[in-house]
Amino acid sequence: MIKGKISEIFESIQGEGLFIGERHLFVRFYGCNLTCKFCDTQLNHFEEYEPQQLFEIIQQRRNGSTCVVFTGGEPLLQVAFLKEVAGRTKKTGFKNYLETNGSMPEALEEVIEHMDIVAMDLKLPTSTGMHGFFKAHKRFLEIAMRKDCFLKTVVCLSTEESDIDEMIRLFRENRIHATVVLQPNSQELSIRLFKKIDRFKNRLLDEGIATCMIPQLHKIIGVP
Ligand code: SF4
């Protein structure tokens, strides 16, 4: 039987993105395929579960939550396991919410039928310190837009205007209809960073792209 590696299971308020403030049950998958320079996710340990075991824990801990968030790390690295668990939660009436770095479109294709919400990180090279993922993001979004989908992109002091140009091109050339959440790097909160985000936001709005700025609430108020 397939087993999944899970780092944490906890209930909290959603601290990011368009569903900020809602009570969600979080399942943090172990492991990530990227190395974003601003990453502060602690993935030092994991427990192994069979799909049915994890499903039963989710049911026990739901405490009124109707939405289960599969987060990471990168949940799509364990797509066969994710599919098994998400199939069970969906059947029971949970809303399935996937938080993903948007780099694995083939894996998304395998689970999209079970997802209700896809929150995709758009990885800007001058934010992450890695190469761009625009090609993978394009294919990923084509699949994700079958469901309720929005984008989050972390903006750092190092983020350059050229990445925003590339993002606008991605939207224009592929008829993408999804809201963009610009998320200030929590380690660099400052007037300088907010001014930069405001400039980027106005550029995206001028292009007809629905855009807002939302900081990571859970880090500000100190909840997991
Ligand atoms: S994709 Fe997310 S978990 Fe992975 S390195 Fe980047 S910020 Fe960290």
What does the pLDDT look like over 55-88, one tens digit per residue? Answer: 999 999 988 889 999 999 999 999 999 999 999 9
- Identify the pLDDT of residue 1: 84
For residue 40, pLDDT beyond 80: yes
The DSSP 8-state label assigned to residue 102 in this structure reads: S
Q: Is the CB of 41 under 6 A from ligand 1?
A: yes
- Identify the pLDDT of residue 145: 96
Atom of ligand 1 nearest to the CA of 101: 1
For residue 104, pLDDT beyond 90: yes
Q: Is the CB of 34 under 6 A from ligand 1?
A: yes
Atom of ligand 1 nearest to the CA of 38: 7
Distance CA 198, CA 219 (A): 21
Name the closest-CA residue to atom 2, ligand 1. 73
CB 103 within 8 A of CB 128: no
Give distance in angstroms: CA of 126 to centre of ligand 1: 15
Domain map (residue ranges) of the chain: 4-152
What does the pLDDT look like over 129-170, one tens digit per residue? Answer: 999 999 999 999 999 999 999 999 999 999 999 999 999 999
The alpha-helical segments, DSSP class H, found in the chain are 51-61, 79-91, 105-111, 125-128, 134-144, 161-174, 191-206, 217-221
Name the closest-CA residue to atom 3, ligand 1. 73
For residue 208, pLDDT beyond 80: yes
Neighbours of 161 (CB within 10 A): 12
- Identify the pLDDT of residue 107: 98
Query: Out of 2.60.40.10, 3.20.20.70, 3.40.50.2000, 3.30.470.10, which CATH number does the structure's domain 4-152 have?
Result: 3.20.20.70
CB 93 within 8 A of CB 68: no
pLDDT confidence of 43, banded at 50, 70, 90?
Answer: confident
Atom of ligand 1 nearest to the CA of 103: 1
